[in-house]
Structure 1
């Protein structure tokens, strides 16, 4: 098995990215087979526990208070609703439950305390729990770890230059600092990006470079296609073609061979054949369920049919996890 590398150069990644598509997919599939069980896919469910009213001005996001979209600011969901959603997700086959809140940063309020309680209770169900709550302080990251949080999502989105052109309310370094705090507290890092926002190939290559040269590769790398939402500054962006997604996934797979590479937003616009080529290119994680925060996602019945036809199976929770990440309830069940 090839050694993991964190010293990739932009030139090396550019050469990989610009490889002819079929050759690139073949190479990525070869790497994937060496590092992962083929046909195994991590099935995740994402729930927006606090929707809308976000003070950030991310140009792609319908939850921003700066944009005139159909998304209204709402209070945080009640604990019973969150736990019920987690139970339904587990019954439907999900092994990771992700909670997202439209916050600029973690808030020192009863809402954050409620998130800590939900992390603990859902972990005890035997599911990996991931949160995306914006920027974190060291103390907040420590509290999330103590509650049993398995992973934290904080996407880099794009290259630093392009990021600073579509977001003004925080800096790229703020994202990197939060990722470092997460890592320092021994929480798995989930970080990827979005394509189709008007960025260049060079921006995409720099994004992969920034992720693949971190001291440790992110445990999970979501590759998202922009869902252009009316009322956002990017509402007129054209749909991302499937082959751009496959190219990004393959490049991520080759440069970060041990990471879970997630075929995320935009999958709803792909047919089964296009998704299959993305799995061939190294994707081994998806979100299932009818919503991705506020945008549409694939029907559960469609995903079950696709799994049957393609011979895919869900990855078990806490597979290959360090012992301290596994709750006592899961160990007892084994």
Structure 2
């Protein structure tokens, strides 16, 4: 049964978001976010498409590649994740060692040759603090070498300290992914090994280091509409909007606590994409996990509603993804073009917009502080 819509506060203005459509602000109330989210779908998509065209080339979609550089054995208890050591036996996933440098670099070269402009690396860690200095140094070297290939580099390595965020920034990291997953109220039902505040602290460390923030959520965790509103509200009221907002549809994995969860329907994802676009007009909204189940028509609706990034390649971290040839055919049929690397990200902070100029402007002060200038 659908949850009731959140009641409006007496002084809320149900028409403000339409009168100020496309405005950039972090002052959204939860009631305003609910108004946007609960707009009839076709009307919402129309408004989202309007906003999308204010700030973005609607034909340009970035192609990104995601590689698990350290799979399994994670001490976290995320109920959707196959990599948690808490249910590794049920899933049948053995913990693997951190990949070697040359193997990762070769994967990045193949991704670039296939048309990807952003290479993302994920490690099944609680955070770099749990691993030795040698592994951390290897990851930093991977970042540096892939950045030298003229590719954007993104990592998702768990929780970061400010010093670790600074290390990644110095290595040349473009973006750091750290999804909030769901609303603050529902988060304890998804994991018991960390708090929502831990996620927000890492995002703040990333932002302070001058790294582009990539933060979104997962649809289909058993949450209701009010939790989706809560997630979007949290993202849209950060100090600066994330440069990237991934919208993931749960891919239920056998053996995890959420193995029986029903996948969200494509139109549920379209609604989340459209609402994210209205609330965060300049962010790149990334159509991420779960796309394999979507038809080309479903994906076209997402692009119309404001999605302007996909993961390509036949695998995400541990789950299947769309074939590159299939995506190439879809791009051709829909008239989409690929977003180049280091095109500035207008959302977020000036020091972390993803461009080479922003990276250089932030790296110099840190290098001086470390005595490297």
TM range (shorter): over 0.9
CA separation in 2, counterparts of 1:286 and 1:326?
27
- Relative to structure 1, the CA distance from residue 268 to residue 326 in structure 2 (aligned partners, 3 Å threshold; closer, same or farther) is farther
CA separation in 2, counterparts of 1:308 and 1:293?
27
In structure 1, the partner of 2:98 is: 76
Instruction: Please state if 1:202 is matched with 2:222.
Output: no
CA separation in 2, counterparts of 1:271 and 1:80?
36
- Relative to structure 1, the CA distance from residue 94 to residue 269 in structure 2 (aligned partners, 3 Å threshold; closer, same or farther) is same
Alignment length (residue pairs): 327
In structure 1, the partner of 2:23 is: 3
CA separation in 2, counterparts of 1:229 and 1:316?
33
How far 1:326 sits from its partner (Å)?
6.3
Secondary structure at the aligned position of 1:261 is classed as strand
In structure 2, the partner of 1:306 is: 330
How far 1:3 sits from its partner (Å)?
3.3
In structure 2, the partner of 1:16 is: 36
- Correspondence for 1:133 among 152, 157, 160: 157
CA separation in 1, counterparts of 2:280 and 2:358?
24
Secondary structure at the aligned position of 2:45 is classed as helix
How far 1:112 sits from its partner (Å)?
1.0
Cα deviation per residue 1:84-121 (whole Å; 9 max; x = unaligned)? 00000000110000000000011342111101001000
For the 8 Å contact 1:290–1:300, the answer to whether it is kept is yes
- Relative to structure 1, the CA distance from residue 212 to residue 322 in structure 2 (aligned partners, 3 Å threshold; closer, same or farther) is farther
TM-score by length of 2: 0.86
- Computing the radius of gyration from Cα coordinates, the structure with the larger value is 2
Bigger Cα displacement from structure 2, 249-258 vs 313-322: 313-322
How far 1:138 sits from its partner (Å)?
1.1
Cα deviation per residue 1:273-303 (whole Å; 9 max; x = unaligned)? 1000010110000000011100000000000
Secondary structure at the aligned position of 1:223 is classed as strand
CA separation in 2, counterparts of 1:186 and 1:108?
25
In structure 2, the partner of 1:31 is: 51
Instruction: Please state if 1:183 is matched with 2:203.
Output: no
- Correspondence for 2:122 among 100, 104, 119: 100
How far 1:2 sits from its partner (Å)?
3.9
Say which structure, 1 or 2, has more relative contact order (CA 8 Å, 6+ apart): 1
CA separation in 1, counterparts of 2:312 and 2:278?
25
How far 1:160 sits from its partner (Å)?
1.1
Secondary structure at the aligned position of 1:48 is classed as strand
Instruction: Please state if 1:61 is matched with 2:95.
Output: no
In structure 2, the partner of 1:273 is: 297
For the 8 Å contact 2:22–2:278, the answer to whether it is kept is no
Where does the alignment leave 5 or more consecutive residues of structure 2 unmatched? 1-20, 345-354, 362-373
For the 8 Å contact 2:221–2:258, the answer to whether it is kept is yes
How far 1:38 sits from its partner (Å)?
1.4
Secondary structure at the aligned position of 2:173 is classed as coil
TM-score by length of 1: 0.96
For the 8 Å contact 2:147–2:173, the answer to whether it is kept is yes
Bigger Cα displacement from structure 2, 303-312 vs 108-117: 108-117
Secondary structure at the aligned position of 1:6 is classed as coil
CA RMSD of aligned residues (A): 1.2
In structure 2, the partner of 1:330 is: none
- Relative to structure 1, the CA distance from residue 272 to residue 168 in structure 2 (aligned partners, 3 Å threshold; closer, same or farther) is same
Instruction: Please state if 1:87 is matched with 2:109.
Output: yes
Cα deviation per residue 1:175-207 (whole Å; 9 max; x = unaligned)? 000000000000000000001010010000010
- Correspondence for 2:65 among 8, 27, 45: 45
In structure 1, the partner of 2:241 is: 217
For the 8 Å contact 1:156–1:175, the answer to whether it is kept is yes
> What pairs with 1:107-256 in structure 2 (closer than 5 Å)?
107-256=131-280
